[in-house]
Amino acid sequence: MIRPLPSLGLLDRVLRVLFPGVLFLLLNGCASVSYYGQLASGQLKLLRAREPVSDVIADPARDQKLRAHLAQSQKARTFASQQLHLPDNQSYRLYADIGRPFVVWNVFATPEFSLIPQNHCFPVAGCVAYRGYYSQSAARGEAAVLRLQGMDVSIGGVEAYSTLGWFNDPIISSMMGWGDERLATLIFHELAHQRFYVKDDTEFNESFATFVEQEGTRQWRAHRGLAPDNGALAQRRDQFIQLVLDTRSRLEKLYALPLPTEQMKQRKAAEFDRLRAEYRQLRDSQWSGDKRYDAWINAPMNNARLLPFGLYDQWVPAFAALFRQVGGDWLKFYAAVETLGALPVGDRKAALKALAESKTSGD
């Protein structure tokens, strides 16, 4: 049963009482008052902007395209809980118009000759390889400070994120440029984070959610009587990611060498030139000139821009093997995932590696 939506006004009053206390707890860490202040303020503004999707759909004064898009999203939202056994709450049954293209901007940073990210630890989400800002100007200011410290820095806009069930997350206006199926996949992905999350293990969490997204989308297409996706775009995405991962691997070996600074800089630049050349060769020889990644590859390159790659799909084959082992039963799958998540990190990674190898070998 779906719990009735509480009065948003009442919820706002409760949050106004709770947020100062939460912020006080957060500030007992090492981070600055201003940084956590903007996090609390940004999250509160997002929560205050929410309204029931059903109200938007029923309002003839609202944009017809928006209403139709939201109506389709609710079919996927119901499927997520009824068929994929994802949390049955008010998340993604709410809508928030934020009036900007991204809800947050993440700032990634590494040393000049290292791929080890500057990590940041938070009380709920654990440690992650970025800091998020609700203002693009604030993100740029942080990036400028880091560059002055000699760091490689990258800023990435984010259309959506999960509060891991702490709040009922809305469909955000920044997500409305996506097609109906892409929005459905996002809902599956973010609800998977609510279903299960391991603190301080980004690769585990994102790979789990990505598998749920991919398998959920396959089942969602079948539910609607659509043919399976031919996988061409996914194959190109995987090939592109592999090019980036190969570059990271070569850079890691390079940075381990005892080279003079100028020589290191030259060889680092050469690796990025190689990445661009290999991408263009792949694009022109196998992709019929598809230029979807041109903007990314032609932008200024550094270590920090490579960080997000691999985080979202490293263990997807392992979770696919686990899903197959339990006969495609979602509830048994989630129970098995929870068992994996409870293992010490070393044992967890060993178990995931064994699962991935069994997937590859077909055992």
Q: Minimum mean pLDDT among 1-10, 280-289, 326-335, 349-358: which range?
A: 1-10
Q: How many CB atoms lie within 10 A of CB 308?
A: 19
Bridge partners of residue 96, in order along the sequence: 50, 172
User: Looking at the domain assignment, is residue 336 inside a domain?
Assistant: yes
Q: Tell me the one-letter amino acid at 191.
A: L
User: Looking at the domain assignment, is residue 267 inside a domain?
Assistant: yes
Statement to judge: residues 286 and 255 lie in one domain:
yes
C-alpha distances (whole Å) from 254 to each of 118, 174, 265 are: 20, 39, 10
Supply the pLDDT for residue 261: 97
Q: Which residues contact 95 (CB under 8 A, 6 or more apart)?
A: 50, 51, 52, 53, 56, 70, 170, 171, 172, 173
User: Looking at the domain assignment, is residue 93 inside a domain?
Assistant: no
Q: Which two tokens stand for residue 259?
A: 């080279």
Supply the pLDDT for residue 359: 60
Supply the pLDDT for residue 145: 96
Q: Which residue, of 260, 275, 306, is where some domain finishes?
A: 306
Q: How does residue 10 score in pLDDT terms, banded at 50, 70 and 90?
A: very low
Statement to judge: residues 300 and 325 lie in one domain:
no
Rounded to an integer, the average pLDDT of 225-242 is 87
Of the candidates 121, 61, 38, 85, which has an alpha carbon nearest to the alpha carbon of residue 328?
Answer: 85
Q: How does residue 27 score in pLDDT terms, banded at 50, 70 and 90?
A: very low
Question: Per-residue pLDDT for 23 more than 50?
Answer: no
Q: Which residue, of 306, 335, 352, is where some domain finishes?
A: 306
Q: Model confidence over 238-272: pLDDT tens digits?
A: 899 999 999 999 999 999 999 999 999 999 999 99
Q: How does residue 122 score in pLDDT terms, banded at 50, 70 and 90?
A: confident
What does the alpha-carbon distance between residue 164 and residue 91 come to, in Å, rounded to a whole number?
A: 10
Of the candidates 164, 220, 162, which has an alpha carbon nearest to the alpha carbon of residue 172?
Answer: 162
Whole-number average pLDDT of the chain? 89
User: Looking at the domain assignment, is residue 8 inside a domain?
Assistant: no
**Does this model's pTM top 0.95?**
no
Q: How does residue 9 score in pLDDT terms, banded at 50, 70 and 90?
A: very low
Which is more confident, 227 or 331? 331
Question: Per-residue pLDDT for 63 more than 60?
Answer: yes
> Structural domain tally of the chain?
2
Which is more confident, 334 or 358? 334
What does the alpha-carbon distance between residue 63 and residue 68 come to, in Å, rounded to a whole number?
A: 9
User: Looking at the domain assignment, is residue 300 inside a domain?
Assistant: yes
Helix/strand/coil (H/E/C) assignment for every residue in 59-105: CCCCCHHHHHHHHHHHHHHHHHHHCCCCCCCCCCCEEECCCCCCCEE
Q: Which two tokens stand for residue 344?
A: 């010490």
Q: Which residue, of 272, 288, 306, is where some domain finishes?
A: 306
Supply the pLDDT for residue 204: 95
Question: Per-residue pLDDT for 355 more than 80?
Answer: yes
Statement to judge: residues 293 and 275 lie in one domain:
yes
Which is more confident, 197 or 13? 197
Statement to judge: residues 344 and 283 lie in one domain:
no
Phi then psi for 338, rounded to 5 degrees?
-65, -35
Q: Tell me the one-letter amino acid at 332.
A: K
What does the alpha-carbon distance between residue 262 and residue 333 come to, in Å, rounded to a whole number?
A: 51
Question: Per-residue pLDDT for 25 more than 90?
Answer: no
Supply the pLDDT for residue 5: 41
Q: Are 86 and 192 in contact (CB under 8 A)?
A: yes
- The boundaries of the domain holding residue 296 are 232-306
Q: How does residue 192 score in pLDDT terms, banded at 50, 70 and 90?
A: very high
Question: Per-residue pLDDT for 21 more than 90?
Answer: no
Question: Per-residue pLDDT for 7 more than 80?
Answer: no
Q: Which two tokens stand for residue 186?
A: 């996002």
Q: Are 51 and 94 in contact (CB under 8 A)?
A: yes
Q: Which residues contact 83 (CB under 8 A, 6 or more apart)?
A: 219, 223
User: Looking at the domain assignment, is residue 284 inside a domain?
Assistant: yes
Of the candidates 87, 42, 96, which has an alpha carbon nearest to the alpha carbon of residue 209?
Answer: 87
State the distance between the two ends of the chain, measured CA to CA, in whole angstroms: 39
Statement to judge: residues 286 and 244 lie in one domain:
yes
Could you tell me how many residues make up the chain? 363
Most confident of 68-82, 107-121, 303-317: 68-82
Supply the pLDDT for residue 37: 85
Q: How does residue 320 score in pLDDT terms, banded at 50, 70 and 90?
A: very high
User: Looking at the domain assignment, is residue 100 inside a domain?
Assistant: no
Percent of the chain with pLDDT over 70: 89
What does the alpha-carbon distance between residue 194 and residue 164 come to, in Å, rounded to a whole number?
A: 5
Statement to judge: residues 322 and 292 lie in one domain:
no
Q: How does residue 362 score in pLDDT terms, banded at 50, 70 and 90?
A: low
Statement to judge: residues 266 and 300 lie in one domain:
yes
User: Looking at the domain assignment, is residue 340 inside a domain?
Assistant: yes
Strand duo 131-133 + 104-110: pairing: antiparallel
Strands of the sheet containing 104-110, edge to edge, are 131-133, 104-110, 152-158
Determine the longest span between alpha carbons in the chain, in angstroms.
67
Supply the pLDDT for residue 141: 96
Q: Which residues contact 338 (CB under 8 A, 6 or more apart)?
A: 196
Q: Which single residue is written with the structure tokens 């060498």?
A: 257
Percent of the chain with pLDDT over 90: 74
Supply the pLDDT for residue 11: 47
Supply the pLDDT for residue 200: 85
